[in-house]
């Protein structure tokens, strides 16, 4: 069972969290590169970062900036930023009331299969939703976690977008708990025109204790990935 250091950064600006991820990510890749030249290998470290961001829209490297439906003046009026990033996927929103998870994992310590990695992230969220009586599902060809997928009322509750290099991961998932969903109205989320977005609060009709959800999600991530989470 691989050890994974858990870090909760609290409420932190997107760019600052991105820089923090990059540092851990690049250090791991550098160590892996150096290990190739050594007889005695040094074990790479793994991290799971949780945080919340102030209002921000992020666009993946293959995304379409036309999926941001408002201009800079409007963004300022909503205290929101727009950042082009190097993860996969299209445009999404991060803000208060959302659990953002950034696993910086060396998949050589787990399994070398990106498809499996994405499915495991989804599975941990699905299992967490199940604790609240909410049925989360996968949608073929659309990474993330959905509710009532395949119906006219299909809605996304968790977006996923990652970057990998030499089997090291960064970026991750955004799980809507008590999110202000009005912010999603300013974008075409993930570039998907005909689907809605939801939150755990909206599904249950009550404010949710986000710290409780974090604890449950940590347990499910730990079990699904067979990781030993250490604070």
- Catalytic residue positions, numbered: 190
- At 37 the pLDDT is 82
- At 105 the pLDDT is 98
Note whether 19 and 231 are within 8 A (CB).
no
The overall pTM is greater than 0.85: yes
Q: Which residues face 93 on adjacent strands? A: 57
Q: Evaluate if residue 231 carries a pLDDT over 80.
A: yes
State how far the Cα of 120 lies from the Cα of 111, in Å rounded to an integer. Answer: 11
Q: What is the pLDDT of residues 32-43, one digit of tens each?
A: 999 988 877 889
Q: What is the pLDDT of residues 179-207, one digit of tens each?
A: 999 999 998 876 666 679 999 999 999 99
Ranking 11-15, 26-30, 103-107, 140-144 by mean pLDDT, the lowest is 140-144
State how far the Cα of 119 lies from the Cα of 145, in Å rounded to an integer. Answer: 10
Q: What is the pLDDT of residues 90-108, one digit of tens each?
A: 899 999 999 999 999 999 9
Q: What are the backbone angles phi and psi of residue 224, rounded to the nearest 5°?
A: -65, -45
Q: What are the backbone angles phi and psi of residue 12, rounded to the nearest 5°?
A: -140, 145
Q: Which H helix or E strand runs over 23?
A: helix 14-35
Q: Where do the domains of the chain lie, and which CATH numbers do they carry?
A: 2-230 (3.30.930.10)
């Amino acid at each position: 069972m691989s050890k994974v250091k858990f870090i909760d950064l609290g409420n932190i600006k997107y760019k600052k969290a991105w820089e923090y991820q990059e540092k851990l990510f690049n250090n791991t890749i550098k160590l892996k590169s150096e290990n190739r030249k050594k007889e005695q290998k040094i074990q790479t470290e793994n991290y799971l970062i949780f945080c919340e961001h102030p209002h921000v829209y992020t666009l993946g490297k293959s995304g379409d900036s036309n999926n941001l439906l408002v201009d800079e003046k409007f963004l300022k009026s909503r205290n929101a930023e727009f950042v082009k990033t190097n993860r996969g996927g299209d445009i999404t929103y991060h803000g208060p009331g959302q659990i953002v998870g950034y696993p910086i994992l060396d998949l050589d310590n787990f399994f070398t299969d990106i498809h499996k990695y994405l499915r495991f992230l989804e599975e941990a969220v699905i299992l967490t939703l199940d604790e609240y009586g909410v049925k989360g599902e996968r949608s073929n060809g659309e990474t993330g976690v959905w509710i009532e997928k395949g119906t006219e009322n299909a809605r996304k509750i968790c977006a996923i977008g990652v970057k990998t290099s030499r089997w090291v991961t960064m970026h991750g998932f955004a799980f809507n708990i008590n999110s202000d969903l009005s912010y999603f109205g300013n974008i075409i989320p993930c570039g998907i025109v005909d689907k809605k977005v939801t939150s755990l609060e909206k599904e249950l009709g009550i404010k949710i204790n986000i710290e409780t959800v974090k604890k449950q999600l940590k347990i499910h991530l730990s079990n699904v990935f067979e990781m030993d989470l250490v604070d």
